[in-house]
Amino acid sequence: MSEPAQPSHRRPGPRSAEWFARAAKTIPGGVNSPVRAFNGVGGTPAFIDHARGAYIYDVDGNEYVDYVGSFGPMILGHADPAVVEAVQKQAAKGLSFGAPTGLETELAELVCSMVDSIESVRMVNSGTEAAMTALRLARGHTGRNKVIKFAGNYHGHVDALLVNAGSGALTLGIPGSPGVPEAVVADTLVATYNDLDSVAEAFKAHGDDIACIMVEPVAGNMNCVPPVPGFLEGLRDLCDQYGALLVFDEVMTGFRVHPGCAQAHFGVRPDVTALGKIVGGGMPVGAVGGPRDVMETLAPTGPVYQAGTLSGHPLGMAAGIATLSQLRDGSVHKAIAPQLDKLLAGLNERAQKHGIGFLTQRVGAMFGMFFTDAEQVSRFDDVAACDTEAFGRFFHTMLDNGVYLAPSAFEAAFISHAHDDTAIERTLDAADIAFATLAHP
């Protein structure tokens, strides 16, 4: 590029801006989840009209190659025909009954058949609810109170876990949140991700009262940070040594990094798994699973109360079944891997060409982009040290050139089965312009 494009903010267009202004009058900040407001990158969010395959379309008619995938669920691509048909068929039979359906058992059977550590599973309505239930279950089952979590890991907006959380909470710089009383987080111990010593210290000090470790097996809410070799294995050993439960929050990694979830990818077996995102195929579904004896601590078999008017919702179950049944044999993940190889090789090549300090990390079908000269990012401090301002400018030039990334340097990126060569070439053409713009502002 002899004349690099200025960030023109051509996209999103006037209709999105009108909707955003109108939304802000009746919705706090105009959005129903904070990161959507573009506070991390500046500008006005695109309002979406529809999406298909690898592409998302805003109300101004702009087409974007999408790497948000609804923040993770859309591994098959948008509007997958089998998923849409399953939901439409079920909707015609009635939306919700407040009584059991066979669909719940079908999805439970699929989850149990795909995830080795899960023999029994309770459906809920979101990843937040799954994490909340997993924590209550671990406390109820062990009769202990304390939980170890990691700075930069996000487990939804559960009060007790909203301490040093990732994702939107990081973007906004909220270390916890007003509205969360100190007493509620008094039993939350915060350790350092990828630092076993910090966990061992917590056990040494409080081992008798630690109910569980809650961990993202790949940290996906501080960009994409894989566990260093031995980290997850070490957590397993510490839990066994002290009689605590190991809870994997696989809301993001579940069925994304491997058909058997991150636990299959890394070969470490948790006691309890929280699921969300892909398990609902784009509908609001979460799930908690584990061995039968642990799961039967939940009501009605056990004393730990948990319930939900819309839990196991027929439309969510239908979408989840139609999604997981396509992922089960591993062919989707196998097809995605070389596409992500091409994308990341192409991004790195173009960054290098323009002399931009840039690093990618990936596990399965999730990846991260870091503006840094470092060769590896494995701790939260490394992520925080990356150039978020460069990310913001990269983000906007990509958006202007038809590529939709998550509007925050702390979010992971997601590729789908629908990202074909055309989508990837378009992404790399946009990236060439975006890196050039960074090199010659």
Nearer to ligand PLP, 54 or 252 (CB): 252
Which one is catalytic: 67, 154, 193, 242? 154
The least distance separating ligand PLP from the CB of residue 123, rounded to whole angstroms, comes to 13
- Strand partners of residue 64: 56
Candidate ranges 96-104, 249-257, 352-360, 392-400; the one touching ligand PLP (CB under 6 A) = 249-257
Sheet of 403-404, strands arranged across:
48-52, 55-58, 63-66, 403-404
By beta-carbon proximity to ligand PLP, the closer residue of 155 and 419 is 155
Is 251 one of the binding residues for ligand PLP (CB under 6 A)? yes
How many distinct helices (H) and strands (E) make up the chain? 14, 14
142-201 residues near ligand PLP, rule: CB under 6 A: 154-156
- Please state the φ and ψ torsions of residue 77, each to the nearest 5 degrees: 95, 165
- Our answer to whether residue 277 is catalytic in this structure is yes
> Residue 135 or residue 424: which is nearer to ligand PLP going by CB?
135
Does 247 help bind ligand PLP (rule: CB under 6 A)? no
Whether residue 300 has a cis bond before it, omega within 30° of 0 = yes
The crossing angle, in degrees rounded to 10, of helices 331-353 and 314-327 is 80
Calpha distance 211→222 (Å, rounded): 25
Please state the closest distance from residue 221 (CB atom) to ligand PLP, in A. 6
Give the residue closest to ligand PLP by C-beta: 127
Query: What tokens were used for 415?
Result: 């590729």
Is residue 420 annotated as a catalytic residue, yes or no? Answer: no
> What single string gives the DSSP state of each residue in 324-387?
HHHHTTSHHHHHHHHHHHHHHHHHHHHHHHTT---EEEEETTEEEEE-SS-S---SHHHHHTS-
Q: Pick the catalytic residue from 277, 382, 387, 404.
A: 277
CB of 3 to ligand PLP, least distance (A): 40
- By CB under 6 A, is residue 131 in contact with ligand PLP? yes
Select 221 or 323, whichever has its Cβ closest to ligand PLP: 221
What are the phi and psi torsion angles at 13 (to 5°)?
-100, -170
Nearer to ligand PLP, 216 or 432 (CB): 216
Burial class from Cβ neighbours inside 10 Å (0-12, 13-18, 19+) for residue 282 reads buried
Active site residue 242: no
Q: Measured between alpha carbons, how far is 441 from 435 in angstroms, rounded to an integer?
A: 10
Alpha carbons 241 and 263: distance in angstroms, whole number: 20
> Of 168, 220, 289, 312, which lies in the binding site for ligand PLP, with binding defined by CB under 6 A?
220
Question: Residue 137 carries which side chain, given as an amino acid letter?
Answer: L
Quick one: which of 53, 73, 127, 227 contacts ligand PLP (CB under 6 A)?
Answer: 127
DSSP H helices in 27-101: 81-91
Which range binds ligand PLP by CB under 6 A, 76-84, 113-121, 247-255, 325-333? 247-255
- On whether the CB atoms of residues 164 and 175 are closer than 8 A, the answer is yes
Nearer to ligand PLP, 140 or 220 (CB): 220
Choose, by CB under 6 A, the member of 60, 216, 400, 411 that binds ligand PLP. Answer: 216
CB of 154 to ligand PLP, least distance (A): 5
Catalytic residues: 154, 249, 277
Site for ligand PLP, rule CB under 6 A: 126-128, 131, 154-156, 216, 220-221, 249, 251-252, 276
